[in-house]
Amino acid sequence: MTDDSPQPPQTFRPNYLAVWGMFFRNSLIREMTFRSNFVIELVTRAFWFSAQLVLFDLIYRHVPTIQDWSREEYFAFMATGMLINALVEAFFMPNCANFSELIRTGDLDFALLKPIDTQFLISFEKVNFAMINQVLLALALLWYSISKTGIELSIGRVVTYLLLILVGVAFFYSLMIALASTSVWFGRNQGLYDFWFYITIFARYPQGFYKQSFGGEMLWFGFSFIIPILLVVTVPSRFLLRKALDPNWTVLVIAPISTLVMVLISRKIFQWSLSNYRSASS
């Protein structure tokens, strides 16, 4: 006697690692298809990197320190900021920038129909391999700076530093995807991306640089404890260099917690934007 009772439907669970691997491979093929554009972007990034080094090297020829940062220590800070920025631009910037285009063309409909988390699909579809060059240059500058300062690094300190780097990447990604989500209401939001660059430009300089006036103190507080752009870059470099944390050791906790809150908020904003999206067929 056969059992003709209906079987419960099987739940499909996508393999996110395999999907990301496919995205990675497709991006590499796309970059290698247009090799000349890839090489030009590599050269441009290397030139910008060199220009930054030359600028601050010239400055430090006239002063031994800026605030409490020596030349080699500031280069370590610079390398940390470049590393975080390069990872964000390599893995997230092309995708967040393309979100408004998906809405305009109606291609977001196809993303919503796929049996996978929409935010994952939109966030990881493309990889900018030209930024990998920036990652390698930042790591080389960091190695040079650490070797010149003579600081002894333990495994625990290096691991903590790398975790703080990931915290910085997560924070900037959250800020970026939250701004990208507003495309549902505003359509093309190039002005918002300009706003993102203007805001993140503050992270190019250590926290202490801003504490020189009342206005600077306001910027220091706002970008440290309200939108912790300064914390997520300054804290990893000061921790790695064994420099005193500003204002105290609690920033080691504040930065990850603030980032976690930002990740949750950006997730809610993204889901809210999708709930307000009107498909091309509607």
Crossing angle of helices 155-181/190-200, nearest 10°?
A: 150
**Taking the chain, what is the end-to-end CA distance rounded to the nearest angstrom?**
50
pLDDT in tens, 171-186: 999 988 988 888 777 7
Which DSSP state fits 113?
A: H
3-state secondary structure of 92: coil
3-state secondary structure of 69: strand
- The predicted structure's pLDDT at residue 1: 47
- The predicted structure's pLDDT at residue 226: 81
pTM: 0.87
Quickly state the pLDDT bin for 169 (edges 50, 70, 90).
very high
Q: How many residues does the chain have?
A: 282
pLDDT at 51 over 80: yes
pLDDT in tens, 244-259: 887 778 888 888 898 9
pLDDT in tens, 188-227: 666 666 776 777 787 888 887 777 777 778 887 887 788 8
What tokens appear for 51 in the block? 């220009």
Residues 139 and 83 sit within 8 Å (Cβ to Cβ): yes
Tokens 């105290």 map to which residue? 248
What tokens appear for 228 in the block? 């912790």
Which DSSP state fits 175?
A: H
Residues 78 and 236 sit within 8 Å (Cβ to Cβ): no
C-alpha 128/C-alpha 31 separation (Å) is 8
